[in-house]
Chain A
Amino acid sequence: MLRRLLAIAGKEVRQLKRDRLTFGMIVGVPLLQILLFGYAIDLDVRNVSAAVADHANTSLSRQLVASTEASQVVRITRSAAGPEELEALLDAGEIDVGIYIPHDFERRVMDADRPAGQLLINGSDPTVESIARRLTQMPLPGRAQPPPLFEARTYYNPERRSPVNIVPALIGVILHLTMVLFTAIAIVRERERGNLELLITTPVTSSELMLGKIIPYVIIGLIQVTLILWVSQWLFDVPVRGHVLDLYLASAFFILAALALGLTVSTLAKTQFQAIQLTVFTFLPSILLSGFMFPFEGMPRVAQWIGEAIPLTHFVRLSRGILVRGAELGELHAEIWPMLVFFTVFMIVATLRFSKRLD
């Protein structure tokens, strides 16, 4: 029993080592995703290009321009003669924000009821718009500020850096994608290449085959976790506030759930292409409903129910808890058993669906 299991696992590892594409994906997918989400999909937009038309040209107005630029939200690329030129530049797409300071600027500043200047904003890009609107809240030297109603304090991620939020969940997303894909292909490939006809005439049992196919990928998944943690610490200073071991355990449970899903896909698909299609099909709801993309609390009730059935939901909670809040796995055990149930159910489905027959 154990020997056959190991024979299959060993064979799988050998084949994997020789399959450059898959091997590349083990490393490539995590790296690509983490760089993508870490850099490109940085939710803090910076350096929006802007132009200034300063009609006041006093020390206070120059101070305003300087501190606007110092905020790094906008980068002032040119100056304009007046509001008309700012509009023209906006139309031409050369700038996204125009800053107009009227000649009675100093007087307006003293008057709390009137805005001191004007921002011309390119509203066609919603992120630019929302970012630029933050400029309207900028404190101005000398102007009396009305006290804010609440004081907001952000915990755990006070700098509000998005990698800190995204990376813990991203671990799950990457694992889901690669783990489901690898196992989804695993059995279909044997069928497509004709190996299955031989394999099922041997005394190998369905469960040996299924478990043997899973074992190598659990280890590969944990290697991916290591890689992601290492890169995200090195590039983005993502903290590990809890125990790393807790995170590995949580990952192992999640990996098992993903692999069981992949095996089930593999018994459903007839070709490798179908297996890939089905994988994408399982991937979308996971990404959308797990709280990775949208806050779980804001989703409709039904979507939340579905979300609770998705392993990624629980893993996102676990890894955010462990990495960002420094929680212990023991406190989060409520998130573990849904993954175990998921694993058990899909393992049984896959084993039952895989009969040692061709028809």
Chain B
Amino acid sequence: MSDSIAIDAKGLTKRFGSLTAVDDLHLQIPEAAIYGFLGPNGSGKSTAIRMLCGLLTPTAGEVEVLGFRVKGQAEELKRHIGYMTQKFSLYEDLTVEENLRFLAAVYGLPRRDLKQRIDGALEEYWLTEQRKQFAGTMSGGQKQRLALAGATLHRPRLLILDEPTSAVDPQSRRDFWDILFALVEHGTTVLVSTHYMDEAERCHNLAILDRGRLVAEGRPRDLIRNINAGVVEIETASPRAARDCLEATDGVQSVAQLGTRLHALTDKAVEDPAGLIRRALEKAHIDSEVDSVTANLEDVFVAATRLNRHGGRETHAA
């Protein structure tokens, strides 16, 4: 089985001064699948990714990526990784083609089929028309496609994408994910960080990070099925009042607004979550429609990060 593990991290920790950006992370990321990092701003996604690429030295912990120890073999590892940074990091004052040629030379790709490979990449990522355009003048979606073209040009075994779709419209995001699935079919392992639930849902495996900790991990479907709470959907004309009321109710973990509705998470021990909510709202004379629903990924996310905030896991000083 160890053959099919692309990334194996044990106790990965990074501190910046007194701040612990990544805290005792244990990960086993399988090959040829998409693994997602889901987490709010500042939860340590980028920091964890940088440690996995060998760009940051971990304060503690061990990482093996593609069978290379990151400590000591980082340089050999770099040939097999494609990394797309959160911020666009190709040269804005070079053209699309020049950027790709530069990367090809730097990765030492064979000269013979260089032109072919670059043409192929331009076509695959719909950049043929932008070929002579300066990277700095391109739109967010085009830049993102160029960055991905650059990160995959040397056919890496592991592709690491740090919030690749933050500047991109929904259609481009779907196209982008189609490309990722195609890459995975060819055996590439993809590690992607995101804020978006719809993206997280498409990952084969998901890790939810909060304040540097891994607070939940698994297949999105399993995470939803095993959510450690009852989920109740509330439709009401006065959501503010309903929220205040429910947050003061025993047995309710959290209340979050999802679109026009509220989602309340109740303790697992509560037997009839909808009943509990309904009674509480009636008592406060708030008109509402209340139903038990199956959880979605956002509920999982809220439940997991809430648990961390209230010290649901014991905090161990490392």
> Is B56 a contact partner of A358 (Cβ separation < 8 A)?
yes
> Is B89 a contact partner of A195 (Cβ separation < 8 A)?
yes
Assuming the contacts A198-B90, A203-B78, asked whether A4 and B56 have C-beta atoms less than 8 A apart, the reply is no
User: In the assembly, what is the distance between CA of A357 and CA of B50, in Å?
Assistant: 9
Assuming the contacts A357-B57, A359-B56, A359-B57, asked whether A193 and B92 have C-beta atoms less than 8 A apart, the reply is yes
Assuming the contacts A195-B89, A198-B83, A203-B75, asked whether A4 and B94 have C-beta atoms less than 8 A apart, the reply is no
User: In the assembly, what is the distance between CA of A359 and CA of B57, in Å?
Assistant: 7
User: In the assembly, what is the distance between CA of A11 and CA of B103, in Å?
Assistant: 10
Interface string of B103-120 (1 = CB under 8 A from A): 101111000000000000
A200 contacts the other chain (Cβ, under 8 Å)?
yes
> Is B93 a contact partner of A201 (Cβ separation < 8 A)?
no
Measuring CB to CB, which residues of chain A are less than 8 angstroms from any residue of chain B?
3-4, 6-8, 10-11, 14-15, 18-19, 193-205, 356-359
Instruction: Using CB atoms, name the residue of chain B closest to A16.
Output: B93
List, in ascending order, chain A residues with CB within 8 A of B75's CB.
203, 205, 356
Contact with B53, one of A7, A14, A201 (Cβ below 8 angstroms): A201
B85 contacts the other chain (Cβ, under 8 Å)?
yes
Assuming the contacts A203-B78, A203-B79, asked whether A3 and B105 have C-beta atoms less than 8 A apart, the reply is yes
Interface string of B76-93 (1 = CB under 8 A from A): 001101010101111111
Contact with B55, one of A6, A197, A205 (Cβ below 8 angstroms): A197
User: In the assembly, what is the distance between CA of A197 and CA of B92, in Å?
Assistant: 14
Pairs A–B under 8 Å by Cβ, sample size 21? A3-B105, A4-B106, A6-B105, A11-B102, A14-B93, A15-B91, A15-B93, A19-B93, A193-B92, A194-B88, A195-B91, A197-B85, A197-B87, A198-B85, A198-B89, A199-B89, A200-B55, A357-B55, A358-B50, A359-B56, A359-B57
> Is B105 a contact partner of A4 (Cβ separation < 8 A)?
yes
B24 contacts the other chain (Cβ, under 8 Å)?
no
B267 contacts the other chain (Cβ, under 8 Å)?
no
List, in ascending order, chain A residues with CB within 8 A of B87's CB.
194, 197
Most chain B beta-carbon contacts within 10 A, residue among A8, A196, A359:
A359
List, in ascending order, chain B residues with CB within 8 A of A200's CB.
55
Contact with A7, one of B55, B89, B106 (Cβ below 8 angstroms): B106
> Is B85 a contact partner of A203 (Cβ separation < 8 A)?
no
Measuring CB to CB, which residues of chain B are less than 8 angstroms from any residue of chain A?
50, 53-57, 74-75, 78-79, 81, 83, 85, 87-94, 98, 102-103, 105-108, 150
List, in ascending order, chain B residues with CB within 8 A of A194's CB.
85, 87-89
Instruction: Using CB atoms, name the residue of chain B closest to A204.
Output: B106
14 more CB-based (< 8 A) A-B contacts, given A7-B106, A14-B98, A201-B53: A4-B105, A6-B105, A11-B94, A11-B102, A194-B88, A197-B85, A198-B83, A198-B150, A199-B106, A202-B107, A357-B54, A357-B56, A357-B57, A358-B50
Name the 6 nearest CB pairs between A and B, nearest first: A7-B105, A198-B89, A201-B83, A194-B89, A194-B87, A202-B106
> Is A14 a contact partner of B106 (Cβ separation < 8 A)?
no
User: In the assembly, what is the distance between CA of A167 and CA of B103, in Å?
Assistant: 43
List, in ascending order, chain B residues with CB within 8 A of A195's CB.
89-91
Q: A-B pairs with CB below 8 Å: how many?
A: 76
Assuming the contacts A11-B102, A15-B94, A359-B57, asked whether A202 and B89 have C-beta atoms less than 8 A apart, the reply is no
B65 to chain A, nearest CB (A): 12
User: In the assembly, what is the distance between CA of A15 and CA of B56, in Å?
Assistant: 28
User: In the assembly, what is the distance between CA of A199 and CA of B103, in Å?
Assistant: 9
User: In the assembly, what is the distance between CA of A197 and CA of B108, in Å?
Assistant: 19
A16 to chain B, nearest CB (A): 10
A221 to chain B, nearest CB (A): 22
B109 to chain A, nearest CB (A): 10
User: In the assembly, what is the distance between CA of A194 and CA of B90, in Å?
Assistant: 8
List, in ascending order, chain B residues with CB within 8 A of A199's CB.
89, 106
Instruction: Using CB atoms, name the residue of chain B closest to A5.
Output: B105
List, in ascending order, chain A residues with CB within 8 A of B81's CB.
201
User: In the assembly, what is the distance between CA of A279 and CA of B221, in Å?
Assistant: 58
User: In the assembly, what is the distance between CA of A14 and CA of B87, in Å?
Assistant: 22
B156 to chain A, nearest CB (A): 10
List, in ascending order, chain B residues with CB within 8 A of A198's CB.
83, 85, 89-90, 150
Instruction: Using CB atoms, name the residue of chain A closest to B89.
Output: A198
Contact with A197, one of B89, B103, B105, B106 (Cβ below 8 angstroms): B89
B14 to chain A, nearest CB (A): 9
User: In the assembly, what is the distance between CA of A194 and CA of B103, in Å?
Assistant: 16
Instruction: Using CB atoms, name the residue of chain B closest to A11.
Output: B102
B147 to chain A, nearest CB (A): 9
Assuming the contacts A194-B89, A197-B85, A198-B89, asked whether A203 and B94 have C-beta atoms less than 8 A apart, the reply is no
> Is B94 a contact partner of A14 (Cβ separation < 8 A)?
yes
Assuming the contacts A7-B106, A357-B57, A359-B56, asked whether A201 and B78 have C-beta atoms less than 8 A apart, the reply is yes
List, in ascending order, chain B residues with CB within 8 A of A356's CB.
54-55, 74-75
> Is B106 a contact partner of A203 (Cβ separation < 8 A)?
yes
B277 to chain A, nearest CB (A): 47
User: In the assembly, what is the distance between CA of A356 and CA of B50, in Å?
Assistant: 12
A182 to chain B, nearest CB (A): 15
A207 to chain B, nearest CB (A): 13
Instruction: Using CB atoms, name the residue of chain A closest to B160.
Output: A201
Instruction: Using CB atoms, name the residue of chain B closest to A17.
Output: B93
Instruction: Using CB atoms, name the residue of chain A closest to B111.
Output: A3
List, in ascending order, chain A residues with CB within 8 A of B56's CB.
357-359
Most chain A beta-carbon contacts within 10 A, residue among B54, B57, B83, B105:
B105
Instruction: Using CB atoms, name the residue of chain A closest to B105.
Output: A7
Most chain B beta-carbon contacts within 10 A, residue among A7, A14, A198, A204:
A198
List, in ascending order, chain A residues with CB within 8 A of B53's CB.
201
List, in ascending order, chain B residues with CB within 8 A of A201's CB.
53-55, 78, 81, 83
List, in ascending order, chain B residues with CB within 8 A of A193's CB.
89, 92
List, in ascending order, chain A residues with CB within 8 A of B88's CB.
194
Instruction: Using CB atoms, name the residue of chain A closest to B150.
Output: A198
List, in ascending order, chain B residues with CB within 8 A of A197's CB.
55, 85, 87, 89
> Is A358 a contact partner of B98 (Cβ separation < 8 A)?
no
List, in ascending order, chain A residues with CB within 8 A of B55's CB.
197, 200-201, 356-358
User: In the assembly, what is the distance between CA of A67 and CA of B94, in Å?
Assistant: 66
A145 to chain B, nearest CB (A): 70
